[in-house]
Structure 1
Amino acid sequence: MAVKIRLKRTGMKKAPSYRVVVADARSPRDGRIIENIGWYNPRVEPSAINIDKEKALNWLKNGAQPTDSVLSLLQRAGIVERSSQTTAAPDAQ
């Protein structure tokens, strides 16, 4: 079972806020979740991020893959260090 850490949209129409959740990769965006580990509100200045560090690190250690947006939030919250993600170009011969 592939497990992802991703955002689940909540809030009113045109006023989004998000829950940071752990879910099966096959379930829909706002579908069934395994665990709620935090929330993110982009509508306040500065944007509010609240993620349970212990739960997030435990899920990452157990193999859960964060989406790109959640990885960015984890880095901004100081839970995951920013790494120099260099992509090597394939050898063209």
Structure 2
Amino acid sequence: MVVIRLSRGGAKARPFFNIVVADKRVRRDGRFIERLGFYNPLAKDGEEKLRVAQDRLNYWKGVGAQASPTVERLLKDAPVAAPAAAAA
């Protein structure tokens, strides 16, 4: 099965996560199919905390990839910038 999950990067005590599409059998920080974006939990005020390529996310969900619970929570809580920009 193909999953959308977080892959950890960064230094000790400075986590940085890539949002990736990977085979479920591959280890967390191992080989992945595609990188969809990133999540920076320690982002300062002026820095971007979460970025996701929505078109690629929709594609992968459309072909059956399932997001991990953590990725689902991040996507649900994050404000979607594209529709707000289009409305203005």
**TM-score range relative to shorter protein:** 0.7 to 0.9
SS at structure 2 position matched to 1:17: strand
SS at structure 1 position matched to 2:32: coil
SS at structure 2 position matched to 1:26: coil
Tell me the matched-pair count: 78
Aligned to 1:51: 52
How many Å separate the matches in 2 of 1:78 and 1:58? 20
The answer as to 2:29 corresponding to 1:30 is yes
Q: CA deviation at 1:78?
A: 4.8
More helix by share: 2
Aligned to 1:13: 12
Change (3 A) 1:78 1:58: farther
Which is greater in Rg? 1
The amino acid that maps onto 1:68 is P
5+ residue gaps, structure 1, are 80-93
Q: CA deviation at 1:76?
A: 2.1
RMSD over aligned Cα atoms = 1.5
Aligned-pair identity (%): 40
Q: CA deviation at 1:74?
A: 1.4
How many Å separate the matches in 1 of 2:74 and 2:17? 11
Deviations 1:13-53 (A, max 9, x none): 11001000000000000000000000000002567010000
